[in-house]
Amino acid sequence: MCTVCGCDTPHHHPGHDHGHDHHDDHHDHGSSRMIQVERDILAHNDGHAARNRAVFAERGILALNLVSSPGSGKTTLLCRTVEALKARMPVAVIEGDQQTSFDAERIRATGAPAFQINTGKGCHLDAHMIESALARLRPEEDSVLFIENVGNLVCPAAFDLGEAAKVAILSVTEGEDKPLKYPHMFQAASLMVLNKTDLLPHLDFDVDACVAHARRVNPSITVLMLSARTGDGLDPWLEWIAERRRHTLAHRAESLEAKLAAVRATMDSSG
């Protein structure tokens, strides 16, 4: 279990007597140790993330990390997205769940390659998991790689996977206050997708308030509204992906040109 969510932190039960009066000293020492462990974990993760990012850049792969709470409609959105994009560009998916391979099977049914990661008790994907999955999945050059993270609005915010962007998917059934309740996730996201908009006529969800809350914690966040079930509003989401991919391909072309220029300069200087 990870230290970010505190799930492995010993709990002090009310009424428990330590038998001495140095509790505050021990508490401070324990807190400092937990902070150091968390820093070590994140630093280790960032090393793997940097390697993933280098692989993505070298191969022209646009990697998108999809994050949300359980039941937001991530997999339904992914299936519809893959079906819309697979004729236009190569796509692949890494699925993260604590148990089962149901979501990966749904993705494969669309015709796209998918690799399932089961985290067991783990509440998020980390960069080393993605690094290992890449060796098995082998996404094509110039492709789009979707990473569907474990349903959790806390820990995935802290773990860089080497992705180009985090996409926070929020269902309108969840409540418009989620960006304020989980600010770190929405601060880390480049895009918020409001899903299940077909249900809005049946809910009291305040779209304007939700968008305002998201931009309060992240003024630069982009917001799109769609229904993965009906497909309404899907085109702006597909265009957002396509624009990000164009940027990725342009960056790769520039890097390749710079390498060729360096080789030519070396050959010229050597006579």
What is the CATH number for 208? 3.40.50.300
Query: Bridge partners of 114?
Result: 93
- What is the number of other CB atoms lying within 10 angstroms of the CB of residue 221? 19
24-41 average pLDDT score: 61
15 occurs within a structural domain? no
Query: What's the pLDDT band for 36 if we cut at 50, 70, 90?
Result: low
Residues of the chain above pLDDT 70, percent: 85
117 occurs within a structural domain? yes
169 occurs within a structural domain? yes
108-130 average pLDDT score: 95
Query: What's the pLDDT band for 10 if we cut at 50, 70, 90?
Result: very low
Q: How many folded domains does the chain comprise?
A: 1
pLDDT digits (tens, 9 = 90+) for 38-74: 677 788 999 999 999 999 999 999 999 999 999 999 9
Most confident of 13-22, 121-130, 238-247: 238-247
Q: Residue 150's domain spans which residues?
A: 41-254
> Is the model's pLDDT at 260 over the cut of 90?
no
C-alpha–C-alpha distance, residues 5 and 18, integer Å:
25
262 occurs within a structural domain? no
Output the pLDDT for position 21. Answer: 43
> Is the model's pLDDT at 219 over the cut of 80?
yes
pLDDT digits (tens, 9 = 90+) for 163-186: 999 999 999 999 999 999 999 999
Query: What's the pLDDT band for 199 if we cut at 50, 70, 90?
Result: very high
173 occurs within a structural domain? yes
Mean pLDDT lowest among 70-74, 79-83, 156-160, 263-267:
263-267
Are the beta carbons of 112 and 91 closer than 8 angstroms? yes
29 occurs within a structural domain? no
Output the pLDDT for position 263. Answer: 85
31 occurs within a structural domain? no
72-80 average pLDDT score: 97
48 occurs within a structural domain? yes
115-130 average pLDDT score: 94
Query: DSSP letters along 48-94, please?
Result: HHHHHHHHHHHHT-EEEEEE--TTSSHHHHHHHHHHHHTTTS-EEEE
pTM of the model: 0.85
Are the beta carbons of 86 and 196 closer than 8 angstroms? no
